[in-house]
Structure formats: C-alpha cells, structure tokens
Amino acid sequence: MGQLIFNNNLNYIGPQSNLTYLNGSLSFVPYTIFDSISLGTFNILYRSKVATGGTHTLSLGLYSLTGSTLTLANSGSLPISVTGIHWESITTWSSTQNISPGTWFWGFLFSTNVSSLADLFGVKTIGAANAFPGGFIGGAMSESTNALPSSFATSNIDSIGLPELMIPVIILNS
Amino acid sequence: MLTPNTFFWEPDIVSAGTTAANPQLQFFENFPAHAGAAYAGFSNGTLSIHAVNIPLSISFNNVVALMSVSSAALSALSGTIQFGLYSLNAATLSLANSASGAVAEGGSANSWYSMVTSATQNISPGAWYFGVNFFTGGIATDHSSASFYGNSSINPGNAIPIGFLMGRVTASTNAMPASIATSDLDRTGSDAIRQQYIIITA
C-alpha cells in the first residue's frame, strides 16, 4: 500500500448545505481512507455565528470501530473566535499516527460560551424515519457531553433524522 | 474471494509503503456522503444495473436501500426489493451474490429497507455492478406508491459512449438473472441511467 498526500471525503466543493451542530452534541461522521495517510492537517469549512466576545471550541476525535464499539485513537481541538466562512484547521494531535486504510469515524464535539451555533458546510440529504438497519454508518449521541469518550457503544447512538447523518466536507493532509 | 475487473481509477499514491494486511471497509455506499438527489419512481419488475468502484474489501452482510412508500388511496402493498452483485467479464454480467427483502404498505415516508444476502462473501476491491429490482405481488398500480432515493432524472439522448456503466433490463422480471449480456440492456434515457442509493455494510 502507498501513502496519500490528501484525502477528501467528497472529492469536490460544490453547492452544499449548512450543517448546524448543537452545543455539547457529539456527532460521529464516517470517513473512508483508501490508502495510508499521515495524520497531519485536518481541514473543515466552517461558518461561525459566534457573537462578539464569544468562542467556539471544536473537540475532535478519531475513532476506530471494532464490532459495535467506537474507540478513540487520536484527538485534537480547535478554538474559533472569528465570524464568517473560513477554512479551519487542526494540526496538533494527542499522538503521531499514520492512519491505515479503512473506515474511520470523526467525533465532532462543539462547545461554546455563548448561545450561538456553529455551521459546517457539507451534505445533508438523508432524513429517514427509522434507524439504519445495517452496520454503523454514523450518528449522534442523544445526550449532551463535554468530553470525547475513550470508547462508546454504537447502540447508544441515534441515527434517525436529518442532522444525525449529515456529512461535513473533511480534507485531511499528510 | 471473487476478483472483479480492473479499477476505474487509482487512489493518489506518493510512494510505495510496506505491505499491510487486507484492510476492510465498515460500509460502502454508491453515493459518497449519502449525496443522492431525490426520490424517483421505479417501473414494476424492471432490473436496473449500474457500476461502482469498491476501493477496499468489505464483508457482504447487509444491503440497505432508502425508499419512500405511501399507503394513501391504495390497497395493501406487498412488494419485494431485490439486489444483485454482478461482476463483468468482457460483455457478460455474472451474478456473484444476491439479497432480497420485503416492502410493505404502511411504512413511513423515507425509510430504510434492508435485504438479507444469499451467501456470506467478502467482496474484493475493484469494479462491481449493482442490480436493483422492485416488484409487487398486488394490483398493478401498487408499485407506483414506492420510490427509491437516488440520483436525479437526467435524460441524455444517447447512450454513454464508453464501456458499460449503467442500463436496465427491458423485460420485467421477479428474479435476478444468473447472467446478462450487456448488449441486451437499454442504456438510453432517464430510466436507463437511474441509480438507486445502496449501502452495503459489514
């Protein structure tokens, strides 16, 4: 197997939806990597509605899935205090990692000291009325949290509804 | 493990690395990031086939489609959704595996429907062909109440001028054929290029 220079989950930046994340809500987003890639810079397209003097913090976890358990493999964080649409990046991680090919899951946890919400740009099209009947493909924790769990059972994740399965644009650079 | 045809594309590779154990996908969806366009009707018993490029191995356990089923003004709907995994050798599609599931009236709008596979299989990376069929056992108009989530209704006036990528069987069927000659498939028009959103999970 070789090494990727970058990995883009959508392969294009086109007309997309605003994906709104709630304070304290942890969402798990699938991310397929077709070859190995060094965990370098994590990039998202962010639209902040931070009020004057406010700060958003994104706590980001990289999770592997074994059976029905998500396990935290790496983590980083990003304080954001600007408004408007920006590329935002995380470059510092809890450990050095060369990510192996396969399906991974990013855990997105936003927190804020103001009431404003955070938007990412991405795809928001699936609003099924029932839980996904196959293996785990992503979702959101039903209860709010203030920290990334080291492990989490997929049976405790909600996959019903439009926000639960939305996919932000994620570009990873080595 | 079955081996398919060559890749349509190659991933970006900077330099050769060490050989790794066979990596597995947890799931594969033909529309990345669930990025379908709309729900579209499905002609009763019309087998629709389209190509996908599966980048890594995946265990073929569950097949799931997203459908909208309306019960308004219709008698009891009894439908079957079928999925076929085909490989292509020269101009012949061969059935490698299949799955089927029931679709009944009363389901909520926009629901997942799962299908059980006929045999355990670990799908190897490469080009494969998804066959999707839906037919009803009730009155002829029953199927009109069901639609699949998929791509948009584009209607080109000619067939795609490259090797086989998508098409539909013109005669209605209630079973996945063991083999299909690509020359027998309709490749022109919106029905021919319609692709239904499919997720395979381990």
Q: What is the DSSP string of B129-191?
A: EEEEEEEESS-TTGGGGEEEEE------SS--SSS--EEEESS--SS--SEEEGGGEE-SSHH
- How many other CB atoms are found less than 10 A from the CB of residue A7? 21
The fraction of chain B above a pLDDT of 90, given in percent, is 41
CA distance A79 to chain B (A): 26
Q: Give the pLDDT score at B6.
A: 35
**Of the spans A87-96, A162-171, B70-79, B186-195, which averages the highest pLDDT?**
A87-96
pLDDT category at B18 given cuts 50, 70, 90 is very low
Distance of CA B169 to the CA centre of its chain: 13
Q: Give the pLDDT score at A117.
A: 66
- Mutation site, B7, B8, B9, B13, interface A, largest A CB count within 10 A: B13
Looking at every residue in chain B, the average pLDDT score rounds to 80
Question: Per the CB < 8 Å rule, is B201 touching A101?
Answer: no
Tell whether A116 is within 8 A of chain B (Cβ).
Answer: no
- ipTM for the whole complex: 0.85
What are the pLDDT tens digits along chain A (174 aa)? 689 999 999 877 766 777 888 788 899 999 999 999 999 999 998 887 666 666 778 999 999 999 999 999 999 999 887 777 888 899 999 999 999 999 999 999 988 876 656 788 888 878 888 889 999 999 999 888 999 999 999 998 988 877 888 899 999 999
Q: Give the pLDDT score at A18.
A: 79
pLDDT category at B145 given cuts 50, 70, 90 is low
Q: Give the pLDDT score at A1.
A: 67
Q: Give the pLDDT score at A71.
A: 97
Tell whether A160 is within 8 A of chain B (Cβ).
Answer: no
Residues of B in contact with A9 (CB under 8 A): 32-33
Angle at CA B199, nearest 5°, toward B162 and B167?
30
**CA A101 to CA A36: how far, in whole Å?**
5
Question: Per the CB < 8 Å rule, is B110 touching A65?
Answer: no
Q: Are strands B57-69 and B24-25 parallel, antiparallel or unpaired?
A: parallel
**CA B118 to CA B52: how far, in whole Å?**
20
Looking at per-residue confidence, does A161 or B18 come out higher?
A: A161
Looking at per-residue confidence, does A94 or B102 come out higher?
A: A94
pLDDT category at B33 given cuts 50, 70, 90 is confident
Query: Which of A6, A18, A12, A23 is CA-nearest to residue A140?
Result: A23
Q: Give the pLDDT score at B191.
A: 81
Question: Per the CB < 8 Å rule, is B199 touching A137?
Answer: yes
A161 dihedral zone (left: phi>0; alpha: psi -120 to 50; beta): left
Tell whether B13 is within 8 A of chain A (Cβ).
Answer: yes
Burial class (CB in 10 A: 0-12, 13-18, 19+), B193: buried
Which residue(s) pair with A45 in the sheet?
A: A87
pLDDT category at B34 given cuts 50, 70, 90 is confident
Q: Are strands B126-136 and B78-89 parallel, antiparallel or unpaired?
A: antiparallel
Q: Give the pLDDT score at B72.
A: 56
Please name the member of A9, A65, A122 whose beta carbon is closest to the beta carbon of B26: A65
Q: B2 pLDDT exceeds 60?
A: no
